Chains A and B, each alone.
Chain A
């Protein structure tokens, strides 16, 4: 219930209506949305029980390594009610054609694979919020100093998932494990998306806000 309350409000992409759709416009819109989402994710992380008691340095290392996973998991969850469309925001939904224009066909295909997995499992909101917190706690950053404290954070959230499943889905004893087994695909997808935006940064054609750049460079 704590995680349900900590869930942030929806953001809007607000693409510039005066600019025609193009690859650069799509990337500009997504980078701007991601920059604003990052601010929200950072304050969300502070509401995860145990996160704020970590050292500032460990909090930074964790967020720098998992922020894209948190972003993608949110996008995947928002896309659950749609057919083969990626919901970056309620006002920014990419179908196949738009994905092609935006140069995101392959990436959106990866995200769709994740969405299909969660769809087939009928992922619930409670499971989504625990999984998102677990993705945060599951950082494998080599820069973490107090590994034990991070492990404890992981254990508490893992426990929450097991508790939820044993009370809500007792007829599906392997459901918690099944959910955890989606985390590798989430990481793989997030890494691909990071690569994509890092290359865009190198090209230098898309304006990027400071926080987004800072996290991309980390």
Chain B
């Protein structure tokens, strides 16, 4: 999952 860190972060953002 390290390779897809931006997608991961955006999905976790609450906004």
Contact = CB atoms under 8 A, between A and B. Distances in A.
A72 to B, nearest CB: 19
Size bracket of the A interface: 10 to 19
A207 B11 CA distance: 25
Contacts of B4: 60, 64, 214, 218
A46 B11 CA distance: 8
Contacts of A60: 1, 4, 7-8, 11
Given A60-B4, A60-B11, A214-B3, 20 more contacts: A42-B10, A42-B11, A43-B10, A43-B13, A43-B15, A56-B12, A59-B11, A60-B7, A60-B8, A63-B7, A63-B11, A64-B4, A64-B7, A211-B7, A211-B10, A214-B5, A214-B6, A215-B7, A218-B4, A218-B7
27 contacts: A42-B7, A42-B10, A43-B10, A46-B11, A56-B8, A56-B11, A56-B12, A59-B11, A60-B4, A60-B7, A60-B8, A60-B11, A63-B7, A64-B4, A210-B6, A211-B6, A211-B7, A211-B10, A214-B3, A214-B5, A214-B6, A214-B7, A215-B7, A217-B3, A218-B3, A218-B4, A218-B7
